Amino acid sequence: MHHIEIPQSVVDRAVARRGRRHVYPTLDASKTALLVIDLQNGFVAPGFPGELPMAREIVPNVNRLASALRQAGGHVYWIRHTQVVPGEAPWQRFDEFGASWAASLGETLVDGHAGHALYSSLDVCDADEIVDKTRFSAFIQGSSDLHQRLAARGIDTVIVTGTVTNVCCESTARDAMMLDYKVHFVADANAARTDDEHNGTLCNMVLWFADVRTSDELLALLDVGAADARSASVEADSR
């Protein structure tokens, strides 16, 4: 698991600007979606070009969050990075940042390749949704229909997990915030190649884009939200 380190100076700047560490003290599960970004064989399973060993370590936390959110009435979305076939929606700029590596990785992320499949240790349920994206961010125009799916369900809050922390996860979280979603970024349910890269993203999230909490802290927030919902229901029934 990553060694998580957010400098106190970063926290202090955030608190000075908004008066508190966390923007969202409560969580309404019925309006919340867990986004699990790119936990596919191509990034998680041993032997693939894009393998991140750290991604295997976060799987238990992702599964815990998915189970708890379902039980609380929320929704789970498994996001798969999908390489388009040659000639369709080319992404030349990505290739320029490492053509040979991009090509070898891309081959494993074509729909139907073993690398494109979700990692087998993930607890995917029939009620969950699987969304394919073609860019780092699941929300950028033309990447996927995730925004439309969430809007149709009245979702206003997203919990971002997955890999790579500082690439697809950060890109998705930034765009979610700019689309006016409330964003939670889970410190121990995202994975990068190094602690420095991981923590750099966490600092950006704290300052500008999302509440950063651990899995245990998110689970506690879900418990509080569920208790509040039960209390409100009992009160309504007694009237």
**Which amino acid makes up residue 26?**
T
**pLDDT value at residue 86:** 58
Domain boundaries, the chain: 27-237
The DSSP element (H or E) to which 187 belongs, if any, is: strand 182-191
> pLDDT of the chain along its 239 residues, tens only?
999 999 999 999 999 999 999 999 999 999 999 999 999 999 999 999 999 999 999 999 999 999 999 999 999 999 999 987 655 556 777 767 766 666 778 789 999 999 999 999 999 999 999 999 999 999 999 999 999 999 999 999 999 999 999 999 999 999 999 999 999 999 999 999 999 999 999 999 999 999 999 999 999 999 886 666 655 554 555 66
CATH number of 27-237: 3.40.50.850
**pLDDT value at residue 104:** 76
Runs of H (alpha helix) within the chain: 8-18, 41-44, 53-57, 59-71, 92-96, 99-108, 146-152, 170-178, 195-204, 215-237
**pLDDT value at residue 9:** 98
**pLDDT value at residue 107:** 86
List, in order, residues 6 or more apart from 24 with CB less than 8 Å away.
157, 182, 184, 211
DSSP letter (8 states) at residue 158: E
**pLDDT value at residue 230:** 57
pTM of the model: 0.92
**pLDDT value at residue 48:** 94
> And the tokens for 77?
């979305």
**pLDDT value at residue 234:** 46
> And the tokens for 87?
């000639």
